[in-house]
């Protein structure tokens, strides 16, 4: 049963804990908001401003006076939100990359068929149960595959676009050697 905090002396013992929890929740929300803003600023510098400035000066790497180095690294990001799944799926078939696919199966088991649930994956259709097979790409596998193919020179920007993979260049500060 919920109690009103102003109910009287019986809540005085927990009042400081309630107040402190409220303060901490507010402080956490403020810090999370600040962290999000700082990450956006960092992304703006590390992915856009600094790589562009270094490119403009013809620098691939900058060595700092303390021995640390700033390098530009290419990064790939993927998303499961495909603009055109049919095109990506066609590309996968055409390039013999079906190993990138992962499958999820959804099976509806009616009440009273609990024992059938144990063997559904292998026997769903034989049992006459409604089943749906969904294909998707594992982002980590897709990134690794694309990195390998880019290094081999066998993947184009058009291929990346079809697969929903985005290239970014980001500076990274490396420790002194």
Which domain covers residue 53, as residue numbers?
9-59
Same domain (yes/no): 160, 94: yes
DSSP character for 111?
Answer: T
d(CA 53, CA 68): 18
Percent of the chain at pLDDT exceeding 70: 83
Handedness of CA 103, 108, 114, 120 (dihedral sign): negative
In a domain, 124, yes or no: no
- Furthest CA-CA distance within the chain: 75
Residue 155 forms part of a structural domain: yes
Total domain count for the chain? Answer: 2
Kindly state whether residue 32 falls inside one of the protein's structural domains.
yes
Together in a domain, 74 and 87: yes
**Residue 38 belongs to some domain of the structure:** yes
Residue 1 has pLDDT above 70, yes or no: no
Same domain, 143 and 67: yes
For residue 2, pLDDT over 60 is answered with: no
What are the residues facing 42 on neighbouring strands?
none
Model-level pTM greater than 0.95? Answer: no
Least confident of 31-45, 51-65, 66-80: 66-80
Instruction: Please indicate, yes or no, whether residues 67 and 81 belong to a single structural domain of this protein.
Output: yes
Same domain, 155 and 97: yes
Q: Which residues pair with 134 in a beta bridge?
A: 104
- Residues sharing a CB contact under 8 Å with residue 62, sequence separation 6 or more, in sequence order: 54, 69, 70
Q: In the predicted model, is pLDDT for residue 56 greater than 90?
A: yes
DSSP 130: E
Note whether 169 and 52 are within 8 A (CB). Answer: no
Output the DSSP codes for 37-57. Answer: HHHHHHHHIIIIIHHHHHHHH
H/E element, 164: none
Token pair 């998707």 in the structure block, residue:
136
- Per-residue model confidence as pLDDT tens digits over 157-176: 999 999 999 999 888 888 88
**Band (85; pLDDT cuts 50, 70, 90):** confident
116's CB contacts (< 8 A; 6+ apart) are: 109, 123, 127, 129
């Amino acid at each position: 049963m919920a109690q009103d905090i102003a109910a009287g002396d019986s809540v005085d013992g927990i009042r400081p804990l309630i107040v402190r929890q409220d303060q901490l929740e507010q402080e956490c929300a403020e810090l999370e908001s600040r962290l999000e803003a700082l990450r956006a600023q960092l992304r703006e510098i590390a992915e856009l401003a600094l790589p562009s400035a270094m490119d403009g000066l013809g620098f691939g790497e900058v060595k700092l006076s303390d021995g640390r180095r700033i390098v530009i690294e290419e990064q790939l990001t993927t998303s499961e939100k495909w603009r055109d799944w049919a095109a990506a799926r066609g590309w996968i078939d055409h390039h013999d990359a079906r190993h990138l696919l992962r499958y999820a199966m959804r099976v509806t088991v009616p009440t009273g068929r609990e024992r059938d649930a144990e063997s559904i994956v292998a026997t769903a259709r034989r049992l006459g149960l409604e089943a749906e097979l969904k294909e998707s790409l594992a982002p980590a596998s897709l990134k690794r595959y694309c990195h390998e193919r880019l290094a081999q020179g066998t993947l184009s920007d058009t291929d990346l676009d079809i697969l929903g993979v985005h290239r970014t260049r980001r500076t990274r500060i490396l420790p002194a050697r």
